[in-house]
A = this chain, B = another copy of it.
Amino acid sequence: MDQGLEQVLAKLDAGRDAALDRLLAFLRIPSISTDPAHKSDVRDAAEWLRAQLDDLGFQTQIHDTPGHPMVVARSQPGQARPLLFYGHYDVQPVDPLNLWNSPPFEPRIEETPQGQVIRGRGAADDKGQLMTFVEAFRAWRDVHGELPSDLILLFEGEEESGSPSLQPFLREHAVDLRASLAMICDTSMYSDGRPAITTQLRGLVGQEVVIRGADRDLHSGSFGGLAANPIMILAQALATLKDDQGRVTLPGFYEGVQDLTDELRRDWDALGFDAEEFLSGVDLKTPIGETGRTPLEMVWNRPTCEINGIAGGYAGDGFKTVLPAEARAKVSFRLTGTQDPEKIRAAFQDHIRAHIPADCSVEFHDHGASPASVMDTSDPAFATAKDALGREWGREAAYIGAGGSIPIAGDFKQILGMDSMLIGFGRDDDRIHSPNEKYDVNSFTKGARSWARILTALR
């Protein structure tokens, strides 16, 4: 092993307790970004970070935004490939408070049957995670006498409240923030604790549709069988969005969808994903998806259409024989490959319109549209990071996908033109966004060691 790396790892091990103390101090700041009462706490967390980073030798700035501040730090320029590290220092609200076993902002190290954990709001999401790379930088500096060069750090304080300032900020500071790759530490390991790099995220198109018939709710005795029923029209339009093979029927829908590469198929097969076990956690057992696709393909590599909400007529207690004036649904598409969100939106609208009889009207409300993020894993940094993770955790790291979207990855791609490497050390049982959030001490310490290895390999 590289001698420098060996020293950095030893430094991290020796500094474990001090690093945990720093994290606990960070966690004591109740930086709840959605709650205006905590506005100054959010700034305190930004200031705390600035002090840490200044101390490490970063050039750090706090940028005000219409919401909470952005913290941007940079190491000395050099000849290395510029890397941007991202994390967020705000946390979720803590209610219901009575479900916490200890106060959310009095963090502590707890012994559990599964090992030591750091308990407190933000432990995993995202303060504990972002501190893994900060601690790696610290150990590096202690060993090498200076920080790795060409690093940009970006810490956001609004991630838990929808990141309203992020896109404008990225646009305004594009020149300063552009790197060759973004390292995002805000995800989990694969479910069984295997280290993983998330290399693809599904995109999303959201669309609300309202179908209107008569100008009022009608009596189904007087009009039933004669007047258009918007709920039936809606049901018929939605029902035909998928065929009996589970495939979306919109013309052109699968344009840009890629089959798995051999490498990804091998990696994913090796994960031994147990769909039945996964589904049993929510009281289901049978994957229902496209015929001929594996369960992991279904959630990570295949697009889908889901109805997220529907409403029309009288759905309260008892019964009212109304023939309703309108019916509405919220429908979303998860996208993969290079599917074009706006083309899919248009195809969906065409499909609905084709079901609308002369007497009815339809109204659409557009919600978010973002393409899938598929990272270019031929960038050697991916193989390098994968290898480094494998060495730290003693088992091969996997390239995995994610069924949801991580907007920041899309924003980096779209605004700054760079791919993201999503590496996180969270666990499925971290209870993020819930009472009793925790982060494994092991995730924290081996997470920092992982970054030390990755940095060494990339620098």
- Residues of A whose CB lies within 8 Å of any CB of B are 202, 204, 206, 208, 213-216, 218-229, 231-232, 234-236, 238-242, 246, 275, 279, 282-290, 295, 298-299, 302-304, 306-316, 318-324, 327-330, 332, 334, 357-359, 367-368, 402-405
Contact = CB atoms under 8 A, between A and B. Distances in A.
Given A229-B306, A288-B226, A299-B224, A214 B282 contact: yes
Nearest to A304: B225
12 contacts: A215-B283, A220-B306, A221-B402, A224-B334, A224-B403, A225-B334, A227-B287, A235-B238, A308-B322, A310-B311, A314-B330, A321-B332
Given A220-B332, A309-B315, A225 B322 contact: no
Given A236-B239, A239-B235, A308 B405 contact: no
Contacts of A235: 234-235, 238-239, 307, 310
Given A221-B404, A299-B226, A359-B284, A313 B308 contact: yes
A409 to B, nearest CB: 13
A288 B228 contact: yes
B229 A307 contact: yes
A216 B281 CA distance: 10
A-B complex: 7 closest residue pairs judged by Cβ atoms: A221-B404, A225-B304, A239-B239, A309-B313, A311-B315, A215-B283, A214-B282
B299 A225 contact: yes
Contact of A202 (B221, B239, B308): B221
A120 to B, nearest CB: 24
B289 A225 contact: yes
Nearest to A279: B227
A307 B367 CA distance: 27
Contact of A219 (B224, B321, B404): B404
B309 A310 contact: no
Contact of A403 (B223, B242, B279, B282): B223
A318 B366 CA distance: 10
A227 B307 CA distance: 12
B324 A309 contact: yes
Contacts of A234: 235
B215 A282 contact: yes
A320 B299 contact: no
A153 to B, nearest CB: 27
Nearest to A332: B321
Contact of A357 (B231, B288, B311): B288
B403 A298 contact: no
A220 to B, nearest CB: 5
Given A216-B282, A239-B240, A298-B226, A314 B308 contact: yes
Given A224-B334, A286-B358, A315 B319 contact: no
A334 B225 CA distance: 9
A195 to B, nearest CB: 20
Contacts of A303: 225
A327 B308 contact: no
A328 B313 CA distance: 12
Contacts of A313: 307-310, 330
A179 B406 CA distance: 75
Contacts of A324: 308-309
Contact of A279 (B226, B229, B327): B226
Nearest to A208: B319
For A285, A303, A403, which residue has the most chain B Cβ atoms within 10 angstroms?
Answer: A403
A330 B310 contact: no
Contacts of A204: 221, 321
A298 B229 CA distance: 14
Nearest to A311: B315
Contacts of A358: 285-286
B298 A327 contact: no
A238 B318 CA distance: 20
For A215, A285, A304, A316, which residue has the most chain B Cβ atoms within 10 angstroms?
Answer: A304
